[in-house]
Structures are given as structure tokens and as C-alpha cells.
Structure 1
Amino acid sequence: MSEYKEYVAWDLPTRWFHWINALAVLGLIGTALVILFGDALGLSAPGKVALKSIHVSLGYVMAINLVWRLVWAFLGNRYARWRGILPGGPGYLTVLRAYAASFLSGEPQQYVGHNPLARIGVALLFLLLIVQVATGLVIAGTDLYWPPFGHWFAAWVAAPGVDPSLVVPGATDLIDKASYDAMRAFRRPFVEVHELIFYALVVLIVLHVIAVVATEVHEGGSITSAMFTGRKILSRRPPDAP
């Protein structure tokens, strides 16, 4: 007979990170799709600049939120810390095999924090977000001349005698064409990686939603509501219980 018990799982900063990140990423995906297909949609040049400004602003929100989460991984509760969210460590493969076997048996282990399989997904998500932020900041500097790299790129492309602070998107009369072409060539691999990670993130988000639904159905534990309340209600003693 199952005996339900409530466990404290996600602390408040972790829950705030999750939902801020979710909203920022959804906004970034939406604006990115319009930018990618802007020509087909008839988006004007000023409209594209405005949309890129919104996209980059959301990117700043995601970046600040991500940096905060990386710091909180040193300060949060046991389930928010690095050892609770990343795969690896002593005995990790053993607990991963045990979880996989229990899941396939129809009576999966219930975890207060991330289960061993989910920790792989979390590590991949963090890696993709970090690369996306890094490449996005470079692209923001080359497209809009925004911080932290924008002034450097503006100085690179500014025509002789032109104050780099005057260089803005579309100001073709203020730039040196050869320097601008060189800057765009430097920018190209960052754009390619950024677009590749974009599609990878979309796939990972879909897999994340599927995994949450599957885990909720097969394990229970109020996984979705726990990201609002911070608490899980489990019917079996979890391996990662205090």
C-alpha cells in the first residue's frame, strides 16, 4: 500500500529561474522565427531592426537569469546545487541503471530532485544555453552594436574620422565597406552556431515536455505543480531523500 509523503524539492530562486527562463526562451524562439523568415513575411528593414532589438533584450534577460542560476548552483538547497543537477559523481552509473530498470519495470523510482536521466537533460540544456548566450552577444554586437561587444565592432567598421558611437544599423555612410565586410565574415560562424543551437534547443524543449508528461504519468509526484509550489508528494521513499 502506498503511503504519500510531502517533500521540499525546489527552492524559490530555482522556481523563479525556471519560469523566467521558459518565458524568455519562448519569446526568443518566436522573435527568431519571424527574423529568420522576415523576407518571406515582408518584414521591412526598420521592422527587422526593431524585432532584433526585442530579441536581444529578451536574450539579456535570459543571460542574466542564467548567470544567476549558475551562481545559485553553489548556494541553493541540495536539489538546486551542482551535485543534484549534473550527471556524474560516485555511483552515478549505478543509480542511472537502477532508475532505468525501475522505469521499465513499471514501478519507477521517485526522486525529490532530478532523477538520474533528467540530470543528463539538464546538463545538455545548460550547455546549449551558455553557447547560445555567448554567440548571441557577439551577434548583437555585430547587428545592433549593443554591449558588451558592440563598441568594439563599431570601432572596427567605422569609416576613418567617424566616431564609433555614431555607428548604428543601416548607417552605410558612416562605415568603411572593406572593414564591414571583414566584420561580417568574422560574424558568420557565430551566426551558424547560433542557428544550429536554436534548432537543438527547440528539439530539447519538446523532449523536455514529453519527458515531464511521461514522468508525471508513470511516476506521479506532482512534478509540474512542484515547479510552482516547491513541493512534491511521493508515494514511495525517494533515493535522494534527506
Structure 2
Amino acid sequence: MSLSNEDNSNQGQTYQVWDKPIRVFHWLNLLLVLSLIFVGLIMLFKREIGITSLEAKIGLKELHVVIGYIFAANLFIRILWGFLGDRFAKFSSNMPKIAEIKKYKAALRKGDNPQYLGHNPVGKLAVVIIMLTLVIIMLTGLIRAGTDIYYPPFGGVITEFIAADGVDAASIKPYDETGVDKAKLAEVKPYKSIAGTVHLYLVYFLLLLIVLHVVGVILAELKHQPGIISAMFSGKKRLEGTPLDK
């Protein structure tokens, strides 16, 4: 955290809060999530929009997976930065505490307007829930990619397992049972189904979280702490008074 040269005691102080890696992750993550949802919706409703060929079906899944790899890499970097980054990037500074949440909500009910450089206590809780949801979506997506179209990191293990005796695992193709041990394929299908179901419904949950997040940020911007939206672009927050987490 640093105090900028733009400080003016009569107009508040400007603090550098969000570093560039955090800001890049935030906006890139949004773009990737929206892209994945868009492709996912096409996959869900492919028949309704006239996509029926196996090649198109596999192509859509491959596109979804490739975007998913970029999403996973971005998320991995953010997780790493949660241990190596500055104070406001670290997970240790963003762990929600029940006592702090109660105190914050009580202050709002009294008409007070507590200011924070980083996330307020409710915001910290939202961030943790969103991050956990993203991680599980990533993991189930990778499992599904491996069991569905045999993409890394799990695809090689799956094809080795389901290949019939004497068949080269590299010759196994998605949605083609040539060279496949059907009994072993049947063993894999329940795990594939569970991963797909969890993945799908967590995406629905993520959509709800995104809506709640956007509404919460807008309300906070208008009622409690102006400038929190612009801070995610500039990294800077301008506050009047002393922030509680300075």
C-alpha cells in the first residue's frame, strides 16, 4: 500500500491498493468466464440452433476446453499471487471473519459508513466464495475434458485405462468406441457424469454470484464507498478519513 502524490488533507487521500496482476486477473477472468458461458450455452442448445454433426459437437467442446485452459492458467496465477503478492493480494488478508462481518453490518445499521482500502468484511466473504467456486469449476472442467474428449491433464490416463488389450491408447478417439474396452468405459461414465453435473450447476451458481457481486458493488459505490469500481481499473482508491484496514 502506498500513498500517492495526489493527497490533499481537505479532499481525502489517494491510496494505491490493487496491483496490476490483481487487476489483470479480474478483467481477464471476467472475459474468459463470459466466453466459456457463451460457448457452453451453444453446446447445451446445439440441436435447437441446428448443430447436429459429431465434428461440430467435438469442435465446440475443443473450443470450450482451450478457453478453459487459459481460464485455468489465469486462475492458477491468481492463486500463486495470493501467496506471493502484496498485502491486498494475499489470501491471508482476505479471509472473512464472522466477528468483523457482524461489526460491519451493525455499523451500517447505525448509519455509520466504515471505509476500507481492501475489501470490506462482506466483500471478503464474497471473494472467498467466488474463488472456491471458480476452483471447483476448473477442476471439474479438466476432469470432464479428460473423460469426454481425452484432453490433458487426465485424457492420457483415461485412454490408457479404457483401451482394449493390445490397442494403442493414442488411437482412441472421442465418441468412437473402436479399440475401447466397453466394460472399462462403463466404469468411467459415472465419474464423467458426476463431474459434468457438478460443473454445470456450479456455473449456474457462479452466474448468480456474478449478479449479486455486480449489484453489491453498484450499491457500495453509490451508498458507502465511491470509487471502488474505478479502483479496479486504476488500482487507486480515494478515501476521506482513516480506513479501518490502513
TM-score normalised to structure 2 length: 0.90
| Structure 2 unaligned spans of 5+ | 1-8
| Structure 1 unaligned spans of 5+ | none
Q: How many angstroms apart in 1 are the aligned matches of 2:202 and 2:48?
A: 23
> Counterpart of 1:7?
15
Q: How many angstroms apart in 2 are the aligned matches of 1:130 and 1:215?
A: 26
Aligned match for 1:135, one of 124, 140, 146 = 140
- Please identify, of 25-34 and 159-168, the stretch whose mean Cα deviation from structure 2 is larger: 159-168
SS in 2 for 1:233: strand
- Please identify, of 205-214 and 218-227, the stretch whose mean Cα deviation from structure 2 is larger: 218-227
Q: Within 5 Å, which residues of 2 pair with 1:136-215?
A: 136-215=141-220
> Counterpart of 1:21?
29
Would the aligned equivalents of 2:17 and 2:235 in 1 still touch at CA under 8 Å? yes
> Counterpart of 1:225?
230
- Please identify, of 47-56 and 156-165, the stretch whose mean Cα deviation from structure 2 is larger: 156-165
Q: How many angstroms apart in 1 are the aligned matches of 2:110 and 2:67?
A: 43
Identity level (%): 38
SS in 1 for 2:178: helix
TM-score normalised to structure 1 length: 0.91
The count of corresponding residues between Structure 1 and Structure 2 is 237
SS in 2 for 1:145: coil
SS in 1 for 2:212: helix
Aligned match for 2:109, one of 96, 104, 107 = 104
Q: How many angstroms apart in 2 are the aligned matches of 1:132 and 1:181?
A: 24
Q: How many angstroms apart in 1 are the aligned matches of 2:207 and 2:10?
A: 37
Q: How many angstroms apart in 2 are the aligned matches of 1:183 and 1:98?
A: 49
Q: How many angstroms apart in 2 are the aligned matches of 1:105 and 1:47?
A: 58
Aligned match for 2:71, one of 62, 68, 72 = 62
Counterpart residue identity of residue 55, structure 2: P
> Counterpart of 2:38?
30
Shift of 1:132: 0.9
